[in-house]
Amino acid sequence: MTTIRRSARLLTKATQGKVIPKDEKTSLKKTIQKTRKAKTQSAVIEKVKVEKAGIEKPLKVVPNFSIVVKSILIPTEVLVQNSDYILLAENIENGLLHLSSADPKLTPLINSLPIDPKDYFSRRTCSTSFQSLMRSIISQQISNKAAFSIFSKFLATFGKPISLEEKSQNIGGYRVEKTFHDSPPDSEPEISFLRFPYPHEVLEIDNDALRSVGISTRKTEYMKSLAEYYDKNKIDDEILKKMSDEEMIETLTKVKGIGKWTVEMALISHFYRMNVLPTLDLKVKKSLCSHFDIPFGKNSPSHDVLANLAKKWEPYRSLGTYYMWNCSSDIVGDKKPPVTKRNQQPSN
């Protein structure tokens, strides 16, 4: 109690504009860290009533076990016979030749970052577009580490056992290891093989249960909206594969919480569409400006300007995008995006 009062006094000092001594500031940080740790360790899954609002909210918790989630990769011998893989390998080989010829400035980058189709194909860690979009929702506005932590809790809590039929179809899945904190040091982890829940199964999950694994109220709404859209309209990957890029963007952006950039990421990483240029991606936009020697600004250049410059990459703009993601200024012409008046730093 004394520690809490002392922390309160320090906070009061800060609000009054007084300078907090360095030792007290360090002490305050440690106190806050201890308080957070204590709350996490003592948390249990239960609902707590919020008297002022008159509603119930779940208490966010960290379960009493640690989770290790690993993707179940498709065996190489199965992978190389997959029609998607064969087409992708051919597209990548043809695409690299086209990019080198159409835009020689890319050649040093292509030589320094060769693409192995097997590596590129293995990036598809989601077995369906529904799962891919759900993970995108979970990842919105948080770090990759936090996103994977929440996804792991979601999968460990709501994932479904992989049936023999699903296993024979190589649908993919996850190996989940649970190690309980109160178990003996030499005990083996609890291992299960789970798949991501289908849309109708997500709709059956209680909203409070979703929030209990760290998913915000807004993201819970988005996830339910996506599941309802897929379930109600009977959407699956076979239907989406028949659509053009523009048709797929128009179809999926009808869902609340799914924007153009999110669909473009699915087009590239899940459907392996070869002609996508996601100019809403900040890294891609900056790299394009550097590559084509044009100024970078908050609202410029526009998509149309960048698309016109990258027209020479067609029909392999997704491959060009791959290199824009992975390039550095010393490879692309050894120059950073030109400074504009808007983002110019004052000289010392």
Output the tens digit of pLDDT for each of the chain's 348 residues.
444 445 545 455 444 555 556 666 566 656 655 555 554 444 433 333 333 344 444 444 445 556 566 665 555 555 545 667 677 788 888 999 999 999 999 999 888 887 765 566 555 667 889 999 999 999 998 998 999 889 989 988 999 887 766 665 555 677 777 666 666 666 666 677 788 999 999 999 999 999 999 999 999 999 999 999 999 999 999 999 999 999 999 999 999 999 999 999 999 988 989 999 999 999 999 999 999 999 998 778 999 999 999 999 999 999 999 999 888 644 443 333 333 333 333 333
Give the Cβ contact number of residue 109 at 10 Å.
Answer: 23
Residues 265 and 155 placed together within one structural domain of the fold:
yes
Strand partners, 193: 175
Residue 28 has a CB neighbour count (10 Å cut-off) of 18
What are the tokens at 75?
Answer: 């065996």
In a domain, 331, yes or no: no
Helices (H), 43-122: 76-79, 83-102, 107-112, 117-121
Based on the fold, state whether residues 202 and 169 are members of the same structural domain: yes
Q: Are residues 94 and 139 in the same domain?
A: no
Do 102 and 23 lie in one domain? The reply is no
> Three-class SS of residue 112?
helix
What are the distances in angstroms from CA 45 to CA 36, 63, 146?
17, 8, 20
Verify that 143 and 199 share a domain, yes or no: yes
Is there a single domain that holds both residue 155 and residue 173?
yes
Q: What domain count does the chain have? A: 3
Quote the domain boundaries for residue 198. Answer: 129-269
Check: CB of residue 134 under 8 Å from CB of residue 196: yes
Residue 193 lies in a domain: yes
Does residue 250 belong to any structural domain of this protein? yes
In total, the chain counts a number of residues equal to 348
Q: Collapse the DSSP code of 279 into the 3-class scheme (helix H, G, I; strand E, B; otherwise coil) and give the result.
A: coil
> Residue 234: which region, alpha, beta or left (left: phi > 0; alpha: psi -120 to 50)?
left
d(CA 158, CA 196): 8
Asked, for residue 90, whether it belongs to a domain, the answer is yes
Position 41 scores a pLDDT of: 45
Measured distance CA(317)–CA(285) in Å, rounded: 13
φ, ψ dihedrals at 346, nearest 5°: -65, 140
Distance separating alpha carbons of residues 98 and 104, to the nearest angstrom:
10
Name residue 48's beta-bridge partners: 57
Per the domain annotation, does 208 fall within a domain?
yes
Give the DSSP letter of residue 122. Answer: T
Among residues 242, 269, 296, which one ends one of the domains? 269
158, 240: one domain: yes
Domain holding 257: CATH number? 1.10.340.30
DSSP codes, 294-307? ----SS-S-HHHHH
Show which of 269, 294, 316 is a domain's final residue. Answer: 269
Instruction: Answer yes or no: is 347 within a domain.
Output: no
Domain co-membership, 200 together with 283: no
Calculate Rg over the CA atoms of the chain. Answer: 25
Distance (Å) of CA 54 to CA 178, 195, 200, 218: 36, 37, 30, 20
Q: Are residues 283 and 265 in the same domain?
A: no
Residues 229 and 156 in one domain: yes
Q: Is residue 53 part of a domain?
A: no
* 133, 265: one domain: yes
* Domain presence at residue 24: yes
CATH classification of the domain holding 94: 1.10.1670.40
